A and B are shown apart, each in its own frame.
Chain A
Amino acid sequence: KQEVTQIPAALSVPEGENLVLNCSFTDSAIYNLQWFRQDPGKGLTSLLLIQSSQREQTSGRLNASLDKSSGRSTLYIAASQPGDSATYLCAVFDSGGGADGLTFGKGTHLIIQP
């Protein structure tokens, strides 16, 4: 059974810092990996999707890497801003158990201090 772990569980940093969020997964037979953002009281917004054949994806100040063989992904946020404060969720897409669905980590709760 796929398990996804995110470290750290919570992070508070001053504005302007570059930071890294970590995600690990136990079964490397994945189709893709997605990073999501969740604001309080809101649903999930997809940030980046990395296919299993890719090594990284970039969108603006966000860069996500994938090392499928070691079961790891990182989300790099450059020049953090208070508006980046949210919970960041990592999810892997596989076909375990008959369903083609996402297995999520518990998330990293990020606070950017002004």
Chain B
Amino acid sequence: EAGVAQSPRYKIIEKRQSVAFWCNPISGHATLYWYQQILGQGPKLLIQFQNNGVVDDSQLPKDRFSAERLKGVDSTLKIQPAKLEDSAVYLCASTSQGGIGNTIYFGEGSWLTVV
């Protein structure tokens, strides 16, 4: 079974530039999450999708971050304009039904450095 796929793996951009990350969850998984992990910290939930609808985006900095999940499969996370403090690993995760009682599977992450 293929895992959660993310791209690009690594990205270096200058502040005020934009960047987009792509995620392809495990086939059949209805729930998709984006997490932000700053160095030395645990991951922090940014947004949760159930199929193509947003369940919660309360921790997403909406002035610069946006995310979509068209057709309920792949998802993209965009940052525009980037700030230095956005340097982090962006982890995509998926699970079959909302996560309750189910293992959540993570991708290998997209590593962002803002200079």
Task: Choose the segment among B14-22, B42-50, B63-71 that binds chain A (4+ C-beta atoms closer than 8 Å).
Answer: B42-50
A72-99: CB near B (< 8 Å → 1, else 0) gives 0000000000000000010101010111
Residues of B within 8 A of A (CB): 4, 6, 31, 33, 40-45, 48, 55-56, 58, 91, 93, 98-101, 103-109, 111
- Are A104 and B44 closer than 8 Å at their CB atoms? yes
- Are A98 and B58 closer than 8 Å at their CB atoms? yes
User: Within the complex, what minimum Cβ distance (angstroms) separates B110 from chain A?
Assistant: 10
Nearest CB in chain A to that of B91: its residue: A43
CA distance A34 to B31 in the complex (A): 17
Name the residue in B4, B91, B106 with the highest tally of chain A Cβ atoms < 10 Å from its Cβ.
B106
User: Within the complex, what minimum Cβ distance (angstroms) separates B3 from chain A?
Assistant: 9
- Are B103 and A100 closer than 8 Å at their CB atoms? no
**B58 CB contacts on chain A under 8 angstroms:** 97-99
List 10 A-B residue pairs with CB atoms under 8 Å apart, sorted by A's residue number: A42-B108, A43-B108, A44-B91, A44-B93, A89-B43, A93-B104, A100-B98, A102-B104, A104-B43, A106-B40
Name the residue in A45, A49, A100, A103 with the highest tally of chain B Cβ atoms < 10 Å from its Cβ.
A100
